[in-house]
Amino acid sequence: MNAARDFSLGILAGGLGQRWGGRDKGLIAFHGRPLLANACDPRPAKAREILICCRDNARFYSHYGDRVLCETAPFRGPCAGISALLSATETESVIVLPTDLMSNSQQLIARLTETWTGKDHAVVLTDPHGRHSPCMRLAKEALAGCCSFLDRGGRQLSEMLTALRARAVPVDASQLRDADSPADFLDYRAD
């Protein structure tokens, strides 16, 4: 029954794109569309809203989301973006995906929906070796823990997930592919 509840889809697009020479990864073309489109188009049926937390190019991102946000603490990494998404959501939970996702977002959303229980506050998708991803589902109540983590100077996503006691849900590593660098992007095209 909990799996059928509405959620917000939150897209993290606030990175500096350092390994891409400062390029905004959401704007990079992938299969003839911006990478961002792969994360949120088609719109998931159960997503009540799409929130996008970005650093720049808000006008571009507004074409894909219902609301565009900025980070709660600039240059603090994905943790600040996650905090902004949780602060803005109108739903009980947020499914978070990165803007540079190359994998099938619908599969990841389905996995996060089917594994979510009424007892969860944080669920994160991991590869078979237990390495976390920025693909997760968080209850709105996790906002206090995120803010506390940021207030203590926290920056690392893995540390925030530990502080939130996020439950790990393993998926095949191929489902978590993203464009962290041009090499990842080229490797994916070769597959």
DSSP string, 65-100: -SEEE--SSTTS-HHHHHHHHHHH-SSSEEEEEETT
Closest CA to 101 of 59, 148, 139, 136: 136
* Distance between CA atoms of residues 21 and 108, nearest Å: 28
Residue 83 and residue 73 in contact, taking contact as beta carbons nearer than 8 Å = yes
The DSSP line for 170-188 is E--GGGG-B-SSHHHHHHH
Give me the amino acid identity at 166: A
pLDDT at 1: 41
Torsion angle of C-alpha atoms 40, 45, 47, 53, degrees rounded to 10? 10
33-51 in b/e form (b: 16+ CB < 10 A) is ebbbbbbbeeebebbebbb
- Give every residue of the chain whose pLDDT is below 50, as ranges: 1-4, 190-191
Instruction: Name the CA radius of gyration of the chain, rounded.
Output: 15
pLDDT at 58: 83
* Distance between CA atoms of residues 139 and 124, nearest Å: 12
pLDDT at 37: 85
Residue 12 and residue 99 in contact, taking contact as beta carbons nearer than 8 Å = yes
- Burial class of residue 116 in the structure, from the number of CB atoms within 10 Å of its CB (0-12 exposed, 13-18 middle, 19+ buried): buried
49, β-bridge pairs: 8
Ordered by where they begin, the domains of the chain are: 2-190 (3.90.550.10)
pLDDT at 190: 42
pLDDT at 6: 84
